[in-house]
Each structure stands twice: as C-alpha cells, then as structure tokens.
A and B are shown apart, each in its own frame.
Chain A
Amino acid sequence: GENVEQHPSTLSVQEGDSAVIKCTYSDSASNYFPWYKQELGKRPQLIIDIRSNVGEKKDQRIAVTLNKTAKHFSLHITETQPEDSAVYFCAAASPPGNTGKLIFGQGTTLQVKP
C-alpha cells in the first residue's frame, strides 16, 4: 500500500524566514496531495492541496510543489509568523478506487521564533 515519509520531524525558524517541509510517497498512482495544519488539541485544518495534474499551487504565503517523477511534494511557507507554529501533516490519496482515503506523513513540528 501507499507509504508517505515526511521530514524534517521538527523545524525551527526565525520570524520572517521561510520554511520548507518535504514528503515522499511510494505509489505512483496517488493523485491528490493535501497539507494539514494542526494546533495543539485542535482538529487538522486543510491549508492547501494539489492534484497530480498540477506542478505547483500558491495561496498567499503558502505554496505546494509536486514532482510526480520523483514522487515527492513540498510545502513552502514564506514570511513566517509566530501563528504559523503548529504541526503540519502531508498526505496522499491512496488508490485504488478513488475513495480519497488519505495516508498521512508523520508530521513536522514547526516553531517560529519571534
């Protein structure tokens, strides 16, 4: 089945710097890749996603890139702010059947220091 690896497990940056989180997946048939932000004790929140027919997507300070050949995708956060501090999870929608079942990475704890 699908396997998603995420790194780094922790990331500390200064406010205003950029942060990059990377994920790799194993099943070349996976076709949807969302990113979730989870604050302590809260629900995962969908922050951005990308489909397999697109190479890059941007929404204000966050962007996601997808390299289907290499089977990896990345989250980029620019001009980081303290409120960006949270755990970030990548995921891949695992075939077959196009059920949308998500396989999650292990998470990255992002700390933005003011």
Chain B
Amino acid sequence: GAGVSQTPSNKVTEKGKYVELRCDPISGHTALYWYRQSLGQGPEFLIYFQGTGAADDSGLPNDRFFAVRPEGSVSTLKIQRTERGDSAVYLCASSPLLVLGAYEQYFGPGTRLTVT
C-alpha cells in the first residue's frame, strides 16, 4: 500500500517568510509524528498527534512552530517568521493504533527546508 507522503520535497524560502509543510500518513494510522533532522544528526521529535489532537508538543522549539491535523489524517506543520536555523529536513511518521509497548513508526521522505 501507499506509504507516508510529504509535500513539497524541497522548499526554499527567505528569512522571515511563512511556510507550510504537508504530511499524508498511511491510511488508517491514527498516530502521527513530526521530527526534524539536521545534517549528520538523528531525527529530533517535534510533535505527536493521536487522532486530531496534539497529544505531545513538547518538542516544538518555540511559538513560531505550529501543527494541525483537523480531520485526523493529513497534517500540516506551519513555521512563521522563518530563521536560517530552521533549515533542516522535516520528517513525518505515522503509526497504527497504539498497542501498549508497540510504536512502529513509518517515515515519509521528508521536506528539505532551506531558509536563505
């Protein structure tokens, strides 16, 4: 079946602009995660959705970052007033309904964000 998809694959924006990154999870997966991966580093957790609600947003670096998942499927990560330090690959992952102790997450291809 179709995997996690993300659009756009690449985004170049100027410092101070607003960007939106989209994630389409695997059909039926209720859990959705956003991570950020800088060059040479492991993914860093940003936010987790169970259904429509953000159950854990402890990884969002500041209030310029916001994410929504209004219908419990597609999610959008929104970044206001972008800064050069926001440049990274933004990864989305989805997981089926959680069984305690089983959190298999399947990643999308990522959106490479470059802030100039």
Contact = CB atoms under 8 A, between A and B. Distances in A.
A93 B105 CA distance: 11
Contacts of A104: 42-44
Interface stretch (B18-26, B61-69, B94-102): B94-102
B55 interface: yes
A6 B108 CA distance: 23
A98 B40 contact: no
A73 interface: no
Interface stretch (A14-22, A43-51, A55-63, A74-82): A43-51
Contacts of B55: 97, 99
Contact of B40 (A97, A105, A107): A107
Interface string A19-43: 0000000000001101010000011
Nearest to A45: B107
B101 A106 contact: no
A27 to B, nearest CB: 14
Interface in B68-116: 91, 95, 98, 100-110
Interface residues of A, number: 28
Contacts of B4: 43
Interface of A: 6, 31-32, 34, 36, 42-46, 49, 51-53, 89, 91, 93, 97-107
Interface of B: 4, 31, 33, 35, 40-45, 48, 50, 55-56, 58-59, 91, 95, 98, 100-110
Given A44-B91, A102-B35, 20 more contacts: A43-B107, A43-B110, A44-B43, A46-B104, A46-B105, A49-B104, A51-B101, A89-B42, A97-B55, A98-B100, A98-B101, A99-B56, A100-B48, A100-B105, A101-B33, A102-B33, A102-B103, A104-B44, A106-B42, A107-B40
